[in-house]
């Protein structure tokens, strides 16, 4: 069943304004490990799932670590295409074998996963291709979970180059509603965690909350700091193998390095951000809303054929070109497979940092 009109209206009314670095591929894209300088940077803006999926290579069984690197010289570099991958997922659903897709690799063709400079240059070609043109999109849904009701917005970015370079990046925002449909609290995802605020304290443009999108990582923030934010621990960044996990507490005591800081942009619509350097200034965008169907993603439901990609159980992005650590761990799961955020978003808000 489709969302009731009043909830669609609520989703439109509170569609977040994103403050993000300009989507201008002619601007210099710095290395992810460098601090902001005096130039002005561009960034990836949220795209549609079909845009991404139409440009990926699909491999049935990725090989981990160095053995997988040899395959890069033998693989077909032509994208499989959205329709081909859709047919394969539907076949697995029909055969009751959707779990097979957990071993798939979706490698974004022509994006070199570990080179942020080359990825930015190749992205300039992708957004000008006529096949499934680029759209600035947010995916929206009304959620009735075990802990309450909420509005939820999901954003897909083509590439992440914040320290741990990887293809695809799913981030989201959730607004908790009271019984009358009035917002109570809001939380935004940031890496593996996120931040929450009471609704009166959320920065807004009218009824729309304003989210700062950090450069390269696309983590969400409610504010701006000239020196950035410290969201990532050294222990998590190194992806320690299990035999060395005992070092975790020691590494967590190490102060974050400057290159690990997130840099959300200054908001051009806020007077208190007027003193920010030009290189820190973002632009305001409002992505077009695409509404998820209501209810669980059932393959036999008539409204779900175009949402086959929510059933895909593997990660979005390449497993290759990771010489050390746990290859592929950084590429994200799709929205419906991020179960804590998808199934009970109000509880997810409870667990965020205030």
**The three-state (H, E, C) secondary structure of 150-170, written as one string:** EEEEEEEEEEECCCCCEEEEE
CA pair distance 117, 136, nearest whole angstrom = 22
| Confidence (pLDDT) at 34 | 53
Instruction: For residue 186, give every residue at least 6 positions away whose Cβ sits within 8 Å of its Cβ, in sequence order, or none.
Output: 173, 174, 175, 176, 196, 197, 199, 202, 209, 349
Instruction: For residue 88, give every residue at least 6 positions away whose Cβ sits within 8 Å of its Cβ, in sequence order, or none.
Output: 58
Instruction: For residue 123, give every residue at least 6 positions away whose Cβ sits within 8 Å of its Cβ, in sequence order, or none.
Output: 25, 44, 111, 158, 159
Q: Which two tokens stand for residue 295?
A: 């209810």
**Ranges of residues in the chain whose predicted pLDDT is under 70:** 1-5, 29-40, 61-77, 232-259, 296-304, 319-330, 354
Q: What is the DSSP string of 114-128?
A: T-HHHHHHHHHHHTT
CA pair distance 280, 274, nearest whole angstrom = 10
Q: Which two tokens stand for residue 143?
A: 């959620």
| Confidence (pLDDT) at 274 | 87
- For 201-239, write each residue's pLDDT tens digit: 999 999 999 999 999 899 999 999 988 887 755 444 455
CA pair distance 114, 116, nearest whole angstrom = 6
**Cut 0.75: pTM above it:** yes
Residues in the chain: 354
Instruction: For residue 337, give every residue at least 6 positions away whose Cβ sits within 8 Å of its Cβ, in sequence order, or none.
Output: 312, 313
| Confidence (pLDDT) at 119 | 87
Q: How far is CA 125 from CA 10, 158, 229, 319, in A?
A: 36, 13, 32, 22
**3-class secondary structure, 88:** helix
- For 52-89, write each residue's pLDDT tens digit: 999 998 887 655 545 455 555 545 567 889 999 999 99
Q: How far is CA 154 from CA 136, 175, 220, 305, 310, in A?
A: 12, 12, 12, 19, 12
- Torsion angle, alpha carbons of 25, 31, 32, 33, to 10: -160
| Confidence (pLDDT) at 33 | 47
């Amino acid at each position: 069943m489709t969302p009731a009109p009043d909830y669609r209206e609520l989703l439109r009314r509170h569609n977040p304004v994103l403050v993000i670095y300009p989507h201008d591929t002619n601007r210099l894209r710095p290395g992810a490990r460098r601090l902001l300088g005096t130039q002005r940077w561009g960034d990836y803006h949220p795209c549609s799932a079909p845009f991404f999926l139409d440009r990926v290579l699909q491999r049935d069984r990725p090989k981990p670590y160095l053995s997988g690197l040899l395959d890069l010289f033998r693989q077909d570099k032509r994208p499989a295409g959205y329709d081909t991958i859709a047919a394969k997922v539907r076949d697995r659903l029909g055969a009751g074998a959707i779990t097979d897709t957990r071993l798939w690799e979706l490698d974004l063709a022509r994006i070199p996963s570990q080179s942020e400079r080359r990825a930015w240059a190749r992205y300039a070609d992708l957004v000008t291709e006529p096949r499934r043109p680029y759209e600035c999109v947010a995916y929206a849904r009304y959620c009735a979970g075990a802990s309450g009701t909420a509005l939820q917005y999901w954003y897909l970015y083509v590439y992440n180059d914040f320290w741990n370079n990887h293809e695809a990046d799913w981030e989201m925002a959730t607004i908790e509603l009271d019984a009358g449909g009035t917002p109570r609290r809001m939380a935004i995802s940031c890496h593996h965690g996120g931040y929450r605020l009471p609704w009166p304290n959320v920065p807004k443009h009218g009824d729309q909350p304003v989210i700062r999108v950090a450069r390269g990582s696309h983590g969400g923030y409610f504010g701006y700091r000239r020196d950035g934010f410290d969201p990532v621990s050294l222990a998590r960044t190194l992806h320690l193998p299990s035999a060395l996990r005992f070092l975790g507490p020691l590494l967590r005591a190490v102060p974050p390095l400057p290159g690990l800081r997130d840099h959300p942009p200054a908001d051009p619509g806020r007077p208190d951000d007027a003193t920010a350097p030009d290189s820190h200034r973002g632009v305001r965008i409002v992505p077009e809303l695409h509404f998820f169907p209501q209810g669980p993603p059932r393959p036999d439901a008539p409204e779900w054929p175009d949402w086959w990609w929510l059933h895909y159980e593997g990660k979005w992005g390449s497993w290759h070109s990771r010489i050390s650590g746990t290859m592929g761990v950084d590429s994200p799961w799709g929205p419906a497979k991020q179960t804590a955020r998808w199934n009970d978003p109000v509880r997810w808000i409870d667990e965020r940092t205030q």
